[in-house]
Structure 1
C-alpha cells in the first residue's frame, strides 16, 4: 500500500494506464476508513477539465471454501472483492440501474490496495437528513416509486457474466448467520426464538435474481429530485428478490422516519412501482419474512461487534461495544413485526 504522500501520483498513473486519462490528482481527501474499505474523494484535472471521482480501496479477500461473512457496518454477509464489486456495478449500470460509473479497476501493478475508481455523484447519504431534511421533501415524495423501479431493474440484470456471485437460498443464509452466532458463544432467548421462527417460515419457492442485499436508506445518494445513485454493492448475490424490498422496509434503516419504505415513502407505493416496472407481483408474505430475517441478521451483527476484541483480548473499541448494546432494537422490531 502506498503512503498518503504518493497516493495522488500513483492514482494518476493508474487512471492513465486503465482508462487512458492523463491528468493530475487534486483535492484528495479521505472520507471514511475501516477494516474493510477506505474511501477517498478527489478531482482529476485533465485537458478537458476537472472530473470529480471516488477511490475505494479494499483489502484482497481471503480464500474461502464457502460463505464467510466478514465485518462491516451493515449486516454481515459474504463479501465480493473489489474487482467483483466493480463488475457488478458495471453490469447493473448497463441495465439502467443508477449504480456508480466505474472508471478503472485497480490491480497489483498500480502500487495501491485493491480497489476501483468511480465518477463522484453529489448528494446526501446521511439517513436522518434523507428522511427529515425539509430541503428533500420533494425528493421523498418520489423516492418510494423510484426505489421500486430501481429494484425491478436490479432484479432483471443479467448475471451470466457474473459467475463469482454466490447463490444463497433462504435456508443457506440462515445456516450462515446461525453459525456466526454460534461462534460468538453468546446465548439469548430472544435470539434463539427468532432463529426458530425464521427456520419455520423459510420460503419454499422464489424466482432467483441478482439482489443488492443492502438496498436501504444510507446506501442511496439523494438529490432534490430523488435517488441519484445506489451505493455499496459488496454483498450482492443471487437469491430471492423480495429480500431487497424487506431490507428497505426495516425499521432500523428508516432513521426515525415514519413511512415504512425507507423512512421516506409508503410501502404500497414501493410495491406498486415495483410491479409496474418488473411485471412481477410482490409477495407481501415473503417481503415480511425477509424484513423479519433482516432484523435478526442485524441483531447478530450487533452481537458480533459488541464482542469484538483486540489481539490482547481487550474490547476492540467503545464504539463497537455501544453497537453491541443495540441488539435489543432489531429484536424488538422483529417481535413487533411477527406479532403484527
Structure 2
C-alpha cells in the first residue's frame, strides 16, 4: 500500500482511541530499512486536538528480528517495568485495515543522532549522567517479567552468529580467531532475562533531562544480562569519542548505577567477554551488509562502506585479546 493510501485505514484504526472523525495529518516517511517503514504524522481529533505519533509498518514479504506485535508487547511490558518507552497507541497484524503488521506509538521529542548526543551544547549538562542512566534503564529492562513476553526465544548467541558467518562463506581469519577464543573462554551462564539486543547510543531518545525513551526492540530475546551492557560498550557506538560507554561515560558509572538499581552483580571479566563478543557480532553484521551490496541484493554505497569496517573490528578484537 502506498503512503498516501494509508491515511484512511489509519484513521479507522485510531478512531477507537481518538473518536470518530479523527483525521491523519502530515503523514511522511522517515527512517527505515528493507524490513520496516517508519512514518511520522499527527492524529487530529474532531475537536481539533493534535497528537504527534509514529507508525511502524512491516513491508510485505520481509522480516528482520521479531514481529512488530512482539515489539509492541515488549514496549508495553517495558513501560510497566519502569523503562522509558513510547506509549503504544495501537497495533495489528497483516489482517488489519492497513494490510500489514503495524504499531502506532506516541512521538517522543528528543535527539537520537549519536554524534549530536555526544557534541550538542544543549546536552552538555546531562551528558556526564547518561552512562549512569543507561545502567538504571538496563536494570529495569532486565526486570521485565519473562512471562509477560512469552514469544521471546532463547538462543546461544555465540553459536548463532558463528553460523551466520559460516553461511556467508567469506574468509576472515582474524574474526575466526577471535570467535574461537570467545568459544574457549566463555563465562559461566547466568540467569536468563529479557535482553534488549540492541541497546546503544543511537537507539535512545535523549533530551536535556536525559534518556526519554528506548527504541528498536526488534532484536530482543532471552539471554545473559551482560550482553546488553557489553553491546553498549562496543567501540563502534562511541562514534569517535573516548569514554568507553556509548562515548559518554565510564564502566564504573554504568556498573555502579546498574547494580544500585537492582541489576545483578557485574563480573567485569565476563563483561569484557561480552564487549568482545559485541565487537565480533558487529563485524559479522558488517560482513552481512557488505554482502547485500556485493551480491546485488541492494546496491548501496553505505552498505559497501560497512564492508571496510570489518577490518576495523578485527583490529579491535585483536587488541582486546589478553
**TM-score between the two structures when normalised by the length of structure 2:** 0.94
| Per-residue deviation, residues 112-141 of structure 1 (Å, max 9, x unmatched) | 421100000011000111111121111212
Q: What residue is the counterpart of 1:83 in the other structure?
A: 69
1:121 to 108, 114, 122: 108
Q: What residue is the counterpart of 2:203 in the other structure?
A: 219
Task: Say if 2:304 is the partner of 1:305.
Answer: no
Secondary structure (helix, strand or coil) at the match of 1:138 reads coil
Q: What residue is the counterpart of 1:252 in the other structure?
A: 236
Cα RMSD of the aligned pairs, angstroms, is: 1.9
* Matches of 2:206 and 2:183, distance apart in 1: 36
Instruction: Work out the number of aligned pairs and report it.
Output: 319
Q: What residue is the counterpart of 1:66 in the other structure?
A: none
CA contact (8 A) 1:141 1:264 kept: yes
* Matches of 2:154 and 2:61, distance apart in 1: 18
Deviation at 1:50, TM superposition (A): 1.0
* Matches of 1:329 and 1:25, distance apart in 2: 45
CA contact (8 A) 1:61 1:81 kept: no
* Matches of 2:213 and 2:32, distance apart in 1: 21
CA contact (8 A) 2:175 2:317 kept: no
Matched ranges for 1:1-340 at <5 A: 2-17=1-16, 19=17, 21-22=19-20, 23-46=22-45, 47=47, 49-59=49-59, 79-107=65-93, 108-168=95-155, 172-278=156-262, 280-309=264-293, 313=296, 316-339=299-322
Secondary structure (helix, strand or coil) at the match of 2:153 reads coil
Alignment gaps of 5+ in structure 1: 63-69, 72-78
CA contact (8 A) 1:106 1:112 kept: no
Using the TM superposition, name which of 153-162 and 313-322 deviates more: 313-322
* Matches of 1:21 and 1:278, distance apart in 2: 41
CA contact (8 A) 2:226 2:271 kept: yes
* Matches of 1:140 and 1:309, distance apart in 2: 36
Structure 1's 315 and 48: CA in aligned 2 closer, same or farther, altered over 3 A? closer
* Matches of 1:249 and 1:121, distance apart in 2: 25
Alignment gaps of 5+ in structure 2: none
* Matches of 1:218 and 1:326, distance apart in 2: 18
Secondary structure (helix, strand or coil) at the match of 1:326 reads helix
| Per-residue deviation, residues 51-94 of structure 1 (Å, max 9, x unmatched) | 110000124787xxxxxxx76xxxxxxx1101011101100111
